[in-house]
A and B are shown apart, each in its own frame.
Chain A
Amino acid sequence: MASARGIEAHGLVREFKNVKAVKGIDLEVAPGEIYGFLGPNGAGKSTTVHMLTTLLPPTAGTARVAGYDVVADGPKVRASIGAALQEAALDPWLTGREHVRLQSSLHGIGRRERKERGDELLERVGLTRAADRKVQTYSGGMKRRLDLALALVHRPTTLFLDEPTTGLDPQSRSALWNEVARLARDEGVTVFLTTQYLEEADVLARRVGIIDLGRIVAEGTPEELKAEIAKPTVEASPEEPSELGAVAAVLEQFGERTQGAPGRVAVRLDGKGDLADVVRALDAAGVGVSNLQLHAASLDDVFLAKTGHRLEGAEDDAAPE
């Protein structure tokens, strides 16, 4: 059971006219935990976040955030949470400092504390020098960092981040990951993070919930999920291109064929042997290979196993923009 500072939801449902976007979600997030909510576009991630942040009343089910019921205690929930929702919601004509001032003022923070807190947050997200520039001059990464600062002005105990790094360059993404990890580690902030990047969930989240078509189809630590479902993949390239078929024939003795790079053969090991057995079999068959790799299971494998399809953008993880 999540404590007063965590998140818990039971049978959460949201319907829009004839569409059931969220079909009964149960989850518990412990205080100070980073929970990754992983799923493709349209899976129901943002709708769930909108319900948990009180922006959308659930059609059915219950949820408590920071100890308060999201339907009965909306104002108390909002006072306890910070949220950076999809797309940095900023006014291009205001400066970064004006955004922080407006947000902290609306949260009822006093004039003196407002300035101190604003300066502290702008410094923490690396925007002190750009604080008096209009947001329309900011890069995508700067906007996301300002978005995060705005979510933190009133010192929330729970933070909702809806795809916070979508569209960011690797450097900005890494900086944001570091700050989110620090918030959970040093300040005990509970973080509910939606993402469609497997790597993000893998790196940041202690536990991951995989959502597809409005339902949570798997939940656990990334390691548990990989161990439960996914198997490692062996990929080999023959010394001679003409021996591709021979290599495939050997490898297929150890598992199901899966998609490999061009000119290579890949199989997902099914327990009939390990890498050493594969090497021995190739040797016994007299087939030479120029390259042999063992790939650990990924969350994408988990996603595939649980949903029957790959996560959109999973291939982007290797080299996110």
Chain B
Amino acid sequence: MNQQSLPHQIAEIASRSVKRTLRQPGVLIPPLTFPLMLMAVNSSGLRAATDLPGFPTDSFLSFFLPFSFMQGALFAASTAGTDLARDIDTGFLNRLALTPMRGTALLVGQLGGATAMGVVQALVYLGVGLAFGVRFESGVGGVLMLLVLAILIAIGWASIGVWLALRTGSGEAVQSQFPMLFFLLFISSMNMPRDLIEVEWFRAAATLNPVSYMIEGLRSLIIEGWNAQALALALTMTIGLVVLALGLSAVALRERMART
């Protein structure tokens, strides 16, 4: 018997991860519904914010749509983390460790489900946004760019979920960390452009918060067009998150899967 190539191993693990995710309605439905509900509530209740001098658009829905992608990404992180923690808890990870599977295949493949979820979510948010009148200043190319960026963001946060799972081995522990990630979301520029935030500490926190730049990158494609600086910052933060989280996960996996 030969050892499978790395791409084949990744494909096998990813295929399993996607199947598992798509077969769990309880995992699929909340990330699709909650962000849309919040988008509906906020775009209606905070519409008056568009009257503020300097607000970059007269459509709060267009302004707020990127928040859905971010919230969906955090759900993806929770799913990826709890799924892996369950594998650790049930011994499924040991089963995989007894095969010639490489650690890289597990890490990358495990994110397959998160990526699949990211794609489905992004298409749904985008479809709903377009149906309710959101128009892309950056055109069709901007729509594609937004999808790519949104999926990368989902992969980045899912990698954080994977890292937490490998560190703790407990689904409950993974889920208990997510209020902290949501906190990051809420102290970002999700509701207001940073230069319009009057409370100084909040503006400073939002400026330090990488999530702000991810949201602003997505937002720029909708309400501004092609803003190279916003996109560069968003891509840098997102790719940085992916690299950092995968690096931390690789170290944690080596400790967790201590096979000889």
Question: Chain A interface secondary structure, helix, strand, loop or mixed?
Answer: loop
- Cβ contacts A56-82/B at 8 Å (1 or 0 each): 110000000000001110110111010
Contact B100 A107 (CB under 8 A): yes
Q: In the complex, what's the smallest C-beta–C-beta distance from A104 to chain B, in angstroms?
A: 9
Residues from chain B with Cβ under 8 Å of A90 in the complex: 90, 92
Q: Decide yes or no: A86 and B91 within 8 Å by CB, A75-B100, A94-B20 being known contacts.
A: yes
Within 8 A of A (CB), among B1-44: 1-4, 8-9, 12, 16, 19-20, 23-24
Question: In whole angstroms, what is the CA distance A81 to B3 when docked?
Answer: 15
Collect the chain A residues with CB atoms within 8 Å of residue B180's CB.
none
Cβ < 8 Å to B, chain A residues 131-170 = 134, 150, 154
Q: How many residues of B contact A (CB 8 A)?
A: 27
Known: A78-B100, A108-B100, A154-B1. A56 touches B20 (CB 8 A): no
A53 at the interface (CB under 8 A from B): yes
Q: Across the interface, which residues of A come within 8 angstroms of B98, CB to CB? A: 53-55, 78, 81, 83
Chain B residues near A86 (CB-CB < 8 A): 91
Q: Which of A263-300 contact B (CB under 8 A)?
A: none
- Chain A contact patch, size range: 20 to 34
Q: With an 8 A cutoff between CB atoms, is B258 at the interface?
A: yes
Contact with A along B87-103 (1 / 0, CB 8 A): 10011101111111100
Could you say which residues of chain A place their CB within 8 Å of the CB of B95?
85, 89, 103, 150
A-side contacts of B94, CB under 8 Å:
55, 85, 89
Compute how far the CA of A90 lies from the CA of B91 in the bound complex, rounded to whole angstroms.
8
Q: A106 and B99: CB pair below 8 A?
A: yes
Distance between Cα atoms of A109 and B23 in the complex (Å): 27
Nearest-neighbour CB distance to chain B for A108, whole angstroms, equals 4
Is A178 close to B, CB under 8 A?
A: no
Asked whether, in the complex, the Cβ of B1 is within 8 Å of the Cβ of A87, the reply is: no
Task: Check if B260 is an interface residue, CB within 8 A of chain A.
Answer: yes
Most buried by B among A54, A93, A109: A93
By a CB distance below 8 angstroms, the chain B residues around A56 are 258
> Contact at B4–A106, with CB atoms within 8 Å?
yes
| Cβ 8 A contact of B8, one of A70, A72, A89, A105 | A105
A243 within 8 A of B: no
Residue in contact with B259 in the complex, picked from A54, A79, A89, A93, CB distance below 8 Å: A54
Partner of A89, one of B3, B92, B100: B92
A28 interfacial contact with B, CB 8 Å: no
Find out whether the CB atom of A74 lies under 8 angstroms from the CB atom of B259. Answer: yes
Contacts of B259 in A (CB 8 A): 54-55, 74, 78
Evaluate contact between B260 and A91: CB separation under 8 angstroms. no
CA distance A86 to B90 in the complex (A): 9
Contact partner of A106 (CB less than 8 A), chosen from B20, B23, B100, B260, is: B100
Hey, which chain B residues are within 8 Å of A75, CB to CB?
100
Could you tell me if A93 and B23 are in contact, using CB atoms closer than 8 angstroms?
yes
B interface vs A, CB < 8 Å? Answer: 1-4, 8-9, 12, 16, 19-20, 23-24, 87, 90-92, 94-101, 258-260
Extra A-B contacts (10), CB below 8 Å, given A55-B97, A70-B260, A75-B100: A54-B260, A85-B94, A85-B95, A89-B91, A89-B92, A91-B20, A102-B12, A103-B99, A105-B8, A108-B1
